[in-house]
Amino acid sequence: MDAAEASARWCVVTGGRGFAARHLVLMLLRSGEWRVRVADLAQVISLDRDEEQGILGAAIREGQAVYASADLRDKAQLAKAFEGAEVVFHMAAPDSSINNFHLHYSVNVEGTKNVIDACIYCKVKRLIYTSSPSVVFDGVHGIFNADESMPYPDKFNDSYSETKADAEKLVMRANGRYGLLTCCIRPSSIFGPGDKLLVPSLVAAARAGKSKYIIGDGNNYYDFTYVENVAYGHICADKTLSSEDGAKRAAGKAYFVTNVEPIKFWEFMSLILDGLGYQRPSIKIPVSVMMPLAHVVEWTYKSFCKYGMKVPQLTPSRIRLLSCNRTFSCSRAKDQLGYEPIVSLKDGLKRTIESYSHMQAQNQRSISKTSILLGNGNVAKTLLWEDTKQTMTVLLLLAVIYYQLFTCGYTIITAMAKNFSLTALFLFIHGMLPANVFGHKIEKLEPSNFHISQVEAHHIACSVSSSWNSLVGVLKSLCRGNDWPLFLKVVFFLLVVSILSAMSSEAAFKIEFTCNNRYSSHFHRLQSI
């Protein structure tokens, strides 16, 4: 180790290739205060294309970041990875959806013992452990705005929660041993770009037609945490422990970290599904109906997992998680660690949805021949009833036009005046209605919907100018007298206009109706072919 490397401030992130850990690594590198050792199970690091071209790839090439292959169950590998480190962020953990006690105990408990021992052996100053709010959840009683005084339950929801609680106790008890300062962060329901569990599972359910269901009454509240806020919470904990006063108030304690914006669980899921173009969940299924099915599914998995059966989405522990309240207070983290969310829930959702644009419904929808023939746009969506609201609006509009122009015998000017009057009446009454009528949400029309921005106005002006120039171009071509096809097209168009203008509106409508019927029958014949 040369002098420059010896003087550098090194930190280690265990499980450094995991979802939240990747964001923490990037945040540490961006700060410019740390060289980062990324520790994980793989023998060598494999970077994604974006990582190769981004901060992490550059940091590895410049020596600001290095990779260390380390298994938490091997103390010697951990000691090698922690050598020269000032702080260790212990984020490694198995997949929480796999209810395998042996796996969770060996990694979460035995592995954390090894991490603590390796920290003491390597004289690491601070250990920040990524715990979970599930350590206080019994799987039966909901949690609403709980703080850190809430005790561990007598019985845990699953083996993951139980072993995380055991590991958390080990870390807090290790505080002060041989100068090691420890702290535990409990991030609630992490989401964001790079997540390989929440959004992919949700999209898979949507594609299978299962996203329409709500487990329980749908009114349970959750605290979701954007992944960058999780990373920031860890950095706040380390900075607090690095000062003498901060260490006195924060060392050996656990802290809940959330976005401080509780939201209904199923509303959050709906926002993601909406953003990706999938159907919102709407059909409620009681927990009492789902739980027996979940037990059967879990038993089946335990019996056949050795034959390669994938981890099921429907398990008893997950049913409890989907139907209970789980919100937590961040007051202690705010007062003692100086933690505040740096990304709002709204912005976090927007970034998450944008990062999964490749999973949008429109990218997966099979396009029918009929849709292609109709242009595969708004016309196709309307005629094929793919957008119910749009189709119903067009049908209502056509009904009003038919009534005003043909049934009542009004002139065009009279019909337009009456339609404008009806529109004004509708807008006024709609504006007076409350936001919720008999449990149905009324979507309000914002005044901004009728505003035309300067950019839009410019586009409209350009379109009008372009149309005018095209017309002038046609007139110039006619004046030259050398474009017979264009001349015949213009004559035919004017002939049709003169014929239609000589007819009554009722007769024109009948002709149009007859043509539409013929076109429709011909179109159906094409489809059958």
- Determine the Cα–Cα distance for residues 372 and 380; give it in Å rounded to an integer: 8
Where is 298: in which H helix or E strand? Answer: helix 287-304
Order of strands, sheet of 326-328, starting from the edge strand that comes earlier in the sequence: 143-146, 326-328, 221-222, 263-264
Give Dmax over CA atoms of the chain in angstroms: 101
Contact 107, 93 (CB under 8 A): yes
- Determine the Cα–Cα distance for residues 301 and 180; give it in Å rounded to an integer: 42
Chain centre distance of CA 51: 21
Residue 487 has a CB neighbour count (10 Å cut-off) of: 14
Alpha helix ranges (H) inside 388-483 = 388-402, 412-432, 454-480
Non-local (6+) Cβ contacts of 482 within 8 A are none
User: Which one, of 100, 93, 90, lies nearest residue 172 by Cα?
Assistant: 90
Non-local (6+) Cβ contacts of 175 within 8 A are 181, 182, 183, 251, 252
Please, what's the b/e burial string for 97-117 (b: 16 or more CB within 10 A of its CB; e: otherwise)? eebbeeebbebbbbbbbbbbe
Task: Please indicate whether residue 306 is annotated as part of the active site.
Answer: no
Contacts 24+ apart (CB under 8 A), 363-370: 364/207, 369/527, 370/527
User: Which one, of 128, 117, 145, lies nearest residue 91 by Cα?
Assistant: 128
- Determine the Cα–Cα distance for residues 388 and 314; give it in Å rounded to an integer: 31
- Determine the Cα–Cα distance for residues 36 and 85; give it in Å rounded to an integer: 9
- Determine the Cα–Cα distance for residues 501 and 505; give it in Å rounded to an integer: 9
Annotated catalytic residue: which of 123, 155, 164, 441? 164
- Determine the Cα–Cα distance for residues 19 and 298; give it in Å rounded to an integer: 26
User: Which one, of 36, 34, 40, lies nearest residue 19 by Cα?
Assistant: 40
Contact 527, 370 (CB under 8 A): yes
Residue 289 has a CB neighbour count (10 Å cut-off) of: 9
Contact 222, 262 (CB under 8 A): yes
- Determine the Cα–Cα distance for residues 323 and 338; give it in Å rounded to an integer: 32
- Positions marked catalytic: 164
